[in-house]
Amino acid sequence: MNKRFSGVVVPMITPLQDDGSPDTVAVGGLMRLFHAHGLHPLVLGTTGESPSFSKKEGFEVMSAAALAKGAGQYVYAGMVGTVVRRLVKKGNAYLDMGADAVVATLPPYYPLTPEQMAYFFLVLADSLRGPLLVYNIKATTGMSLPLEVIETLSQHPNILGIKDSERDETRMMTLIEQYKDRPDFSYFCGWGAKGAESLLLGADGIVPSTANLVPALYERLYAAVTAGQLAEAERLQALTDQVAAVYQGGMTLGESLAALKCLMHAQGRCGTAMKPPLTLLDTDKATHILETYAALLTSHPEIA
């Protein structure tokens, strides 16, 4: 089914200058790289260190991304915060800059009841001047959106999809089955290791952080799924899993983002700077990751 929102969405890292300010030139470079491979960016999401940016910095990043947007490329604008009025203003500003949809998580502080979760997203949806996608990420909010809340939200005309990063296979399959035939609501799988499987089951899209590093592999993976080439899709998924293991294995989420930037710096895509409270990798870890990835490229040259 051809839905408004689908495909491979890259949760884009946010390139920084050494002083921590946004590197808008590198943002434009990543946008063009993703466009060349048919991918769409999620700007200022979890991978993009969204909670650590000031309003001004966030606007700089989003403006740079929107200005570099290619033909047919969608920009998804990530939001996280606890002040609803500010989120509404920020989301509308992002939409005015050229973002195609806003992607929002639950506010990561108070544990919320299901009714409060629904209320939060409905207030946003009623107030935003463009589409809203719900983002379920238990790892950072400490909460899981119940399936019945998602169903309620899916009935709102301004809520057009969900990105679900929860690592629960039964939940993933249930959501795919429930929404794969809904023309007005898209399901994006945010569980990287289940990318090919979710697409083959009927997911509308995937949101893999590893696509920052190997966008061409994800272009090929999505094409294989679209063509019904099951074996090829699974083979490419296995390759992306090996890449992900290099920078995610044994790491906290924050450390893995620093490791991802380290590898992308070696590609000439961005610097290694992180926004506090996240930090650079220490020299030993950085060296190990670079050497491990170099060995993987030697054994599997098609990854490069």
Residue 1 pLDDT exceeds 80: no
Q: Give 118-164 pLDDT, tens digit per residue.
A: 999 999 999 999 999 999 999 999 999 999 999 999 999 999 999 99
Written as six digits, the tokens of 295 are 């060995």
Q: Has residue 297 been placed in a domain? A: no
> In residues, how long is the chain?
304
Q: What is the pTM for the complete model shown? A: 0.97
Q: Has residue 281 been placed in a domain? A: no
Task: Tally the domains of the chain.
Answer: 1
Report, as an integer, the average pLDDT of 208-218: 99
* CA distances, 300 to each of 60, 222, 292, 296 (Å): 37, 20, 12, 6
Residue 243 pLDDT exceeds 80: yes
Q: 101 pairs with which residues across the strands?
A: 76
Query: CB within 8 A of 3, min separation 6: which ones?
Result: 183, 184, 186, 204
Q: What percentage of the chain exceeds 90 in pLDDT?
A: 99
Residue 80 C-alpha from the chain's centroid: 13
How sure is the predictor about 304, in pLDDT bands with cuts at 50, 70 and 90? Answer: confident
Q: Has residue 22 been placed in a domain? A: yes
Average pLDDT across the chain, whole number: 98
Q: Give 249-301 pLDDT, tens digit per residue.
A: 999 999 999 999 999 999 999 999 999 999 999 999 999 999 999 999 999 99
Range of the domain at 103: 7-227
Give the burial class of 128: count Cβ atoms within 10 A of its Cβ; 0-12 exposed, 13-18 middle, 19 or more buried. Answer: buried
Q: Has residue 65 been placed in a domain? A: yes
Q: Has residue 167 been placed in a domain? A: yes
Q: What percentage of the chain exceeds 70 in pLDDT?
A: 100
Closest alpha carbon to 196 in 163, 171, 160, 226: 226
* CA distances, 17 to each of 7, 21, 22, 26, 278 (Å): 30, 5, 6, 9, 15
Q: Has residue 250 been placed in a domain? A: no
Residue 216 pLDDT exceeds 80: yes
Q: Has residue 290 been placed in a domain? A: no
Q: Has residue 197 been placed in a domain? A: yes
Please report where in the chains the tokens 């300010």 appear, as a residue: 21
In 10 A of CB 88, how many CB atoms?
A: 18
Q: Give 157-166 pLDDT, tens digit per residue.
A: 999 999 999 9
CATH number at residue 56: 3.20.20.70
Closest alpha carbon to 176 in 150, 142, 149: 150
Under a CB-based contact definition with an 8 Å cutoff, are residues 229 and 235 in contact?
no
The per-residue b/e assignment along 199-235, b for 16 or more CB within 10 angstroms, e otherwise, is bbbebbbbbbbbbbbbbebbbbbbebbeeeeeebbee
How sure is the predictor about 2, in pLDDT bands with cuts at 50, 70 and 90? Answer: confident
Q: Give 39-56 pLDDT, tens digit per residue.
A: 999 999 999 999 999 999
Beta strand spans in the chain (E): 7-11, 40-43, 76-79, 101-105, 132-136, 159-164, 186-189, 205-206
